Amino acid sequence: MTKSREEILKKLINMQYTRNEIDFKRGTFRAKGDTLEIYPSDQNEKAIRVEFWGDEIEKVAEINPLTGKIIGLRQHIMIFPNSHYVTQSDKMERAIRNDRKRTRGKNKIF
């Protein structure tokens, strides 16, 4: 599968995951060279390792987050947002504009 490493990193950040190379815990990811490790926020004992060859995903493995030992290989994975309150930026900006329009003039009442 072709997917750029940078594209996946941006998606993780948009899903409110944080990059942390030292303290690998739920809701974080770390990137070293062509390897990306993700600790999904909904998992306690499993993390994901994605290995790239250029923009090609070479291998996806489920790993033990403490030892790094491979538990199993995966063909696909699903990673849920780190927070229930993740919203795309364009939707957020539209909602803010609509709220400002709706509340315009109401401040004068108070």
* CA 43 to centroid of chain Cα atoms: 13
How much is the average pLDDT of 92-99? 81
pLDDT at 79 over 70: yes
Count Cβ atoms below 10 Å from residue 93 Cβ, excluding itself: 11
Residue 107, domain member (yes or no): no
48 forms bridges with which residues in the sheet? 38, 62
Q: How confident is the model at residue 94 (pLDDT cuts 50, 70, 90)?
A: confident
Looking at the structure of the chain, the number of domains it has is 1
Question: Would strands 28-32 and 18-19 be described as parallel, antiparallel, or unpaired?
Answer: parallel
* CATH number for position 63: 3.30.2060.10
**Domain span at 47:** 5-82
Residue 41, domain member (yes or no): yes
pLDDT (tens digit, 9 = 90+) per residue, 1-12? 788 899 999 999
CA distance 39 to 82: 10
pTM of the model: 0.76
pLDDT at 108 over 70: no
> Which pLDDT score is estimated for 60?
96
pLDDT (tens digit, 9 = 90+) per residue, 30-61? 999 999 999 999 998 999 999 999 889 999 99
pLDDT (tens digit, 9 = 90+) per residue, 13-22? 989 999 999 9
**How close are the terminal C-alpha atoms of the chain, in Å?**
57
